Structures are given as C-alpha cells and as structure tokens.
C-alpha cells in the first residue's frame, strides 16, 4: 500500500474519531377485516355465512391475508399455496425478491448502508410535527465501523427545525432476527414483531416513539434492487411505506403525546456514493391508503433539470405495487429556497403528475428551512403535504422530500472521496 493511501486512511480515522460523540458484500440475500355480519341472522347461522371480504366477482387473483395468493373460485376468494422463500405476492402472483426477512433488516458487511425513518405527527390539539432519524453506516470500507446519525424534529406551528449530526465508531449488533442501532443521542430497537422503538434528541426537542408496521415491505425495482444512477452499480432497497406511530415528543422538556404515520427506508450495497451528483426523493402517503416513492438522480451539476435516471414505486390501497419510470412521472419545481448557512439553493414546492394513474397534485411545505448542514453532505429533508386530483376525484396526503447536491460538497466529503479513490488499489470489492 502506497504512502498516499496510508495517509488518507490515517486522516479518515482521526477525523471520524475526533467527531465521534459516542464511544462482505453479497449479490444474494443476506441469509431475508372487517367482518360483515347480518344483524337479522340467527347466531347459529353466522358461522356458515361468507363475509363480504371473502366474496369475489370478475377478479381472478389477489393477495390475501399473510401475503398469500388467492383465486376467485365460484364467487369466493380461495387461498392458494403461500409464496416460497425469496418470493412475495403482488397482484395475486408470487414474484422474486433478492431480500429476505428478518436477516436483511440487520446490518450487512457492505461498503455503505443506511436505515431511515421519517414521519408526520399530530397532538390532541391538531398541531403538526415532523421527525427524522437516520443511521448511516460506513461498514468496513477502511476497516473502521464508522457511523453518522441524523436526528431532525420540525414544529410546523413555530417553524422551528432542530437537527443533530452525530458521529460514532463502533461495531454493530448483527443479530439476524432483530434490529438494534444506538449512539448516545439516538436509538432503534426492533424485535421479531416489527414494532420499532425509536428515540432521538436534537437541541430543544426529543422524541420517544413506538412504530408498528402492519403493511409489510415494498421491494423497489420489483425485486428489491435498483440502479444508483448510470454512474455506479445497484443497491438493495426496500421501504415500509406506512407505519403507525404513537409516543411522546418533548419540547423544552415538556412532554406532548403524539400519533401519526411514519415511513422507513433501508438501503445498502457496494455502490460508490461519491460519483452521485445529487438526487430528489419523494415519499407520499395518500389519504386513500396508497403510497408513492419516487427517486430522481440528476445528471448535470450545473443544470438540475437534467435527469440521469429516475425510478419509483406506486402501491395501491390493496398493497399491490406498480413500478414507475422516469417516463411515467413529471415533477416541476414551483419555487426555491436559499440557505443562509450553506449558500445552497433548493427547489421548493412541486407539481407532481403521474398521468397513467390519474394523479396531479401540488406538494408544498410550510417550513422552508429544513436543511441538514453537516460535515459530510449538506441536504434538505422536509415534511410536506400535498393536494390535488387522483383518478378524477380530490386527493391529499402527507410525506417527506429529500434534496441533495444543491449545496456543494463539504471538506470532509472531499477527503473521503480521495480515500475511496485511493482505497480502490486495495484488495476490496467495491461494485458487487
């Protein structure tokens, strides 16, 4: 190993250790109703009656309880064989996935990985709050298990946006059936029941939240793998797109009971993040129970309108997924916001159209300053709401938007970019 490589490695170790506030790549997976009762009927007869949910008409297939395919047989939904390992049900058919649960929710030995939660919350008086918690894991690129944690809390009533960026160096808990992530200022704990306990502190705000996922994961790209722009390779990627939330938000130490809905992303792989110019990411939870994830990779540092690649997922109220391409979605920025901290100029408020789905909505935020300035990568991560038309009728909902690459690259990012380039000479796998 040349002296330049050693120099960069030592510098990276020193920088991460100084900033710390706390103490193998694999192409395959890492291992993973309401009942309608006739009130006039006799009690003895109700057990023999089919529920409305069991009856079917012209439909041929659907995904039933437990993600089991069902077929319409003589007017009644009839379960088929459950999908085998590494398959899931979509529109009544078993399709392949590269992700296996619960093992693939735990940390991997890849070059880069992150777990991400955002959500829109409200209290008993109808006040709206947003939260973010993200654990970035540098895995073992340099032989160092380096972490960067972001905590964000926004108060829509006051316009306050408190944020925390924390660095840590520690080995992860790789228990395959659970998820445990922690630093001094934030933690996530999840057992086998997919109930997540989240805590985070940022300046004058904090939260302790319980998140319960009843919908299950969405495998982006159809099989849980997407291309991270034309400049690098694929990543594994799934979301839990609608999670029930309850818990406590703290404002200057005073507790506030909150409820709402959250979103989880988990992404990992051997892709090179340093070649990405920037991206615009949208998460949308519609009032009718459907969701959209849409990811735009930009292709020109000087012209944000140039798109390199774009992709997404639409999940209908039944839980079935349709893949979206850049030809399916039109996103038009309506405004902009300039950061006094980083000098970045971010697009703000958008018209979002998916013609084939009959969707035409305007996405807006009432809190323009939701930027996360930090030593590695400045970005904007904000709670939004939207309203407009879907399939000819009114629609609306809540969500989050992430904007990166609009505020330059801090010095630490440039250092790690040099380290990455130097480390390519080492016997490590970068693109698998």
Per residue in 9-34, pLDDT (tens digit) is 333 433 334 334 443 444 444 444 34
Cα–Cα distance for residue pair 243/211, rounded to 1 Å: 6
- Asked whether residue 70 is domain-assigned, the answer is no
- Asked whether residue 59 is domain-assigned, the answer is no
Report the SS3 class of residue 357. Answer: helix
For the domain that residue 220 is a member of, what is the CATH number?
Answer: 2.40.370.10
For the chain, the residue count is: 432
Lowest mean pLDDT among 27-31, 53-57, 158-162, 395-399: 27-31
Which run of H or of E encompasses 206? strand 205-213
pLDDT grade for 420, boundaries at 50, 70 and 90: low
Q: Which two tokens stand for residue 327?
A: 């030809």
**What pTM does this model have?**
0.84
pLDDT grade for 39, boundaries at 50, 70 and 90: very low
Q: What domain range is 203 assigned to?
A: 3-26+101-423
Place of tokens 């659970």: 178
- Domain count for the chain: 1
- Asked whether residue 184 is domain-assigned, the answer is yes
- Asked whether residue 96 is domain-assigned, the answer is no
∠ CA 325-329-334, rounded to 5°: 140
Q: Taking the CA atoms of 10, 273, 237 and 336 in sequence, report the sign of the dihedral they define.
A: positive
- Asked whether residue 57 is domain-assigned, the answer is no
DSSP secondary structure letter of residue 34: P
Which run of H or of E encompasses 398? strand 393-404
- Asked whether residue 78 is domain-assigned, the answer is no
Going by C-alpha positions, the residue among 141, 111, 107, 88 that lies closest to residue 30 is 107
Mean pLDDT of the chain, nearest integer: 86
Q: Which two tokens stand for residue 384?
A: 């939004």
- Asked whether residue 68 is domain-assigned, the answer is no
Which run of H or of E encompasses 423? helix 411-423
pLDDT digits (tens, 9 = 90+) for 181-196: 999 999 999 988 899 9
pLDDT digits (tens, 9 = 90+) for 88-119: 999 999 999 999 999 999 999 888 899 999 99
- Asked whether residue 155 is domain-assigned, the answer is yes
Angle between the 3-19 and 411-423 helix axes, to the nearest 10 degrees? 140
Going by C-alpha positions, the residue among 369, 374, 364 that lies closest to residue 340 is 369
């Amino acid at each position: 190993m040349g002296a330049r490589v050693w120099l960069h490695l030592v510098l990276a170790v020193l920088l991460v250790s100084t900033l710390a506030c706390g103490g193998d790549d694999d192409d395959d997976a890492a291992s993973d109703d309401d009942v309608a009762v006739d009130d006039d009927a006799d009690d003895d007869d109700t057990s023999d009656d089919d529920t409305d949910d069991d009856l079917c008409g012209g439909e041929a297939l659907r995904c039933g309880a437990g993600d089991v395919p069902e077929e319409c047989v003589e007017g009644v939904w009839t379960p088929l064989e459950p999908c085998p390992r590494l398959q899931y049900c979509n529109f009544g058919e078993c399709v392949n996935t590269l992700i296996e649960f619960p093992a693939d929710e735990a940390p991997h030995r890849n070059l880069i990985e992150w777990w991400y939660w955002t959500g829109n919350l409200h209290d008993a008086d109808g006040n709206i709050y947003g939260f973010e918690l993200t654990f970035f894991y540098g895995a073992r690129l340099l032989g160092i298990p380096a972490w960067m944690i972001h905590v964000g809390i926004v108060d829509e009533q006051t316009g306050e946006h408190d944020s925390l960026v924390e660095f840590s160096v520690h080995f992860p808990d790789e228990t395959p059936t659970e998820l445990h992530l922690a630093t001094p200022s934030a933690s996530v704990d999840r057992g086998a029941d997919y109930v997540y306990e989240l805590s985070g502190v940022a300046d004058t705000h904090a939260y302790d939240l319980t998140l319960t996922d009843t919908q299950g994961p969405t495998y982006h790209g159809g099989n849980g793998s997407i291309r991270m722009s034309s400049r690098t390779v694929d990543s594994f990627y799934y979301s839990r797109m609608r999670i029930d939330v309850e818990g406590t938000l703290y404002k200057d130490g005073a507790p506030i009971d909150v409820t709402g809905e959250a979103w989880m992303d988990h992404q990992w792989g051997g892709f090179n993040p340093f070649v990405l110019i920037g991206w615009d990411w949208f998460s949308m939870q519609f009032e009718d129970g459907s969701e959209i994830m849409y990811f735009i990779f930009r292709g020109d540092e000087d012209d944000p309108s140039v798109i390199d690649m774009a992709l997404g997922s639409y999940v209908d109220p039944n839980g079935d997924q349709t893949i979206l391409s850049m030809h399916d979605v039109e996103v038009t920025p309506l405004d902009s916001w300039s950061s006094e901290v980083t000098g970045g100029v971010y697009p703000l408020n958008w018209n979002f159209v998916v013609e084939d789905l009959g969707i035409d909505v305007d996405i807006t935020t009432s809190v323009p300053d939701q930027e996360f300035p930090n030593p590695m990568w400045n970005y904007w991560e904000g709670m939004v709401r939207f309203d407009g038309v879907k399939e000819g009728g009114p629609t609306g909902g809540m969500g989050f938007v992430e904007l990166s690459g609009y505020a330059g690259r801090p010095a630490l990012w440039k250092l790690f970019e040099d380290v990455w380039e130097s480390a390519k000479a080492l016997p490590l796998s970068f693109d698998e």
